[in-house]
Structure 1
Amino acid sequence: MGREREVTTQQQQQVAYTVEQLIAVNPYNPDILPDLENYVNEQVSSQTYSLDANLCLLRLYQFEPERMSSQIVAHILVKALMAMPAPDFSLCLFLIPERVQMEERFKTLIVLSHYLETGRFSQFWDEAAKNRHLVEAVPGFEQAIQGYAIHVLSLTYQKVPRSVLAEAINIEGPSLDKFLEHQIANSGWVLERGGRGQNIVLPRNEFNHPVLKKNTADSVPLEHITRILPILG
């Protein structure tokens, strides 16, 4: 069994290496379209991700619009959503023609992106539930978004009420209890029981704990300052 996994991993690395070679040699060659499309499907099945390859494919679609696969483009956008907080979704959307964006599946993905960017997780999960066929076609989607939601909460809260966490990651009841046990054991979370219910104490960082914030001047490299000064002068 271990040998089979090792062979599969080697095959995935070989595919990635081949695609990287294709992009490096001639990224505007339409002959590599099938290889890039196959690679998108490989990313979906293996739960890997390559923004560069996906952007290259979207650029080729601009030159070969009749060869565009809406399903492949949808997979690319879902994978880009899973990469948040990176701005990958906007980068990909910029390369997709407006007429294509008006298709129902893409309008839905744009709405989902907006909900995530604005931290409206309850609306996001409601909309995602109405479009399971779209998001569940890409394994790992739910877990990736839950990770993003936790990232957002960690930037905002030192302590997060259990109800807020449940809404953000779309887990409740015994499943949430199990999730919390894992986070407490592995991520430094602390469960605090108060009069109005449970609070989860999140690990400190420079965003949710001002004392940890670095001095702004110290965080700006000197070479950046020397470039700005002549402009201001």
Structure 2
Amino acid sequence: MAYEWTSPVTRPEQIEALVSGVDRYNPSNVGILEDYLYHQLRSGEYDCLANLAILKLYQFNADLYNPDIIINILIKSLASSPLPDFNLCTSLLEDRPPGASLDEPDPLPSLLPVIRGLHNLLYRCRFPAFWAIYRSEQLANLRDNYTVEISGFEDSIREVAVRAVKAAFTKISRERLATYVDLQGAELDAFIDKQRWTIDASGSNVEIPPNPDNQIEATVVQESIKLPQLTKIISLAAVKS
């Protein structure tokens, strides 16, 4: 999994060479990285290290600052929870020098606390609260101007919920799962089928197949002490007494 994070298979050779070498600090390459980000938005792919390279260039070169790029990077990183991608991204926004003058008001100061809040809910596995806030009228600007442009965004958030469900449950009520993934009726049934989960005979519970995370197994610890070691312990105890 670590290798997939550092070198995703979908990363083009040009980006691999750029991200892996000193050229990632060359401000003339920022356009290449930004184009690659837009490719990620359209394709549903994700490359955290390439996106971090953009933020690092913005940090070193205030004149390159583009708030829309930053917002898109942060939104993409939400789906990586509980991995630290989001925190890595926001850490590069701190102590940032003033950027270039913008033709329009900067949307980042108002949206950053909102996105932080969404990340916090995902990290704490408060999925019903996440969907309620995400669907609210207050976040219409985020949906209409940003997440709508990100292919598969909502499905990627559902995958965060799936990872949590697989790790914590062997059985979960259908109603509860619906609040976690924000789906109902036939859409929920199709989602359950896609995960290869099954619904029990009552039709009200979803059964999660066994995996290393949701199985409780007793651990037996055996210690092997050889006779010479035991002799030393007894001798030491005798001396102290």
Q: Say yes or no: TM over 0.5.
A: yes
- What secondary structure sits across from 2:159 in the alignment? helix
- Deviation >4 Å, runs of 4+: 98-102, 213-217
Equivalence map 1:111-150=2 (5 Å):
111-130=117-136, 131=139, 132-133=143-144, 134-150=146-162
CA apart distance, 1:190: 2.1
> Which ranges in structure 2 are unaligned for 5 or more consecutive residues?
1-8, 97-105, 223-241
Larger relative CO (CA 8 A, sep 6+): 1 or 2?
Answer: 2
Deviations 1:84-141 (A, max 9, x none): 3322111111111367997122211111100000111111112222332232221111
Across the aligned residues of Structure 1 and Structure 2, the Cα RMSD in angstroms comes to 2.5
- What secondary structure sits across from 2:214 in the alignment? coil
Amino acid at match of 1:207: D
Amino acid at match of 1:68: Y
Larger radius of gyration: 2
- Counterpart position of 1:8: none
The answer as to 2:173 corresponding to 1:177 is no
- Counterpart position of 1:60: 57
In the superposition, relative to structure 1, how do residues 106 and 137 fare at CA in structure 2: closer, same or farther (>3 Å)? farther
Structure 1 or 2: larger helix share?
Answer: 1
TM value normalised by structure 2: 0.74
Equivalence map 1:78-157=2 (5 Å):
78-97=75-94, 103-130=109-136, 131=139, 132-133=143-144, 134-157=146-169
1:42 to 18, 39, 44: 39
- Counterpart position of 1:210: 216
- Cα distance in 2, alignment partners of residues 16 and 215 from structure 1: 47
- What secondary structure sits across from 1:48 in the alignment? coil
**Is residue 42–residue 149 contact of structure 2 (8 Å, CA) maintained in 1?**
no
Deviations 1:183-204 (A, max 9, x none): 3xxx2x221134xx61111011
- Counterpart position of 2:13: 17
- Counterpart position of 1:199: 205
- Cα distance in 2, alignment partners of residues 127 and 98 from structure 1: 29
Amino acid at match of 1:182: K
- Counterpart position of 2:170: 158
The answer as to 2:32 corresponding to 1:32 is no
Aligned-pair identity in percent equals 30
Residues 91-100 or 120-129, more deviating: 91-100
- Cα distance in 2, alignment partners of residues 102 and 57 from structure 1: 16
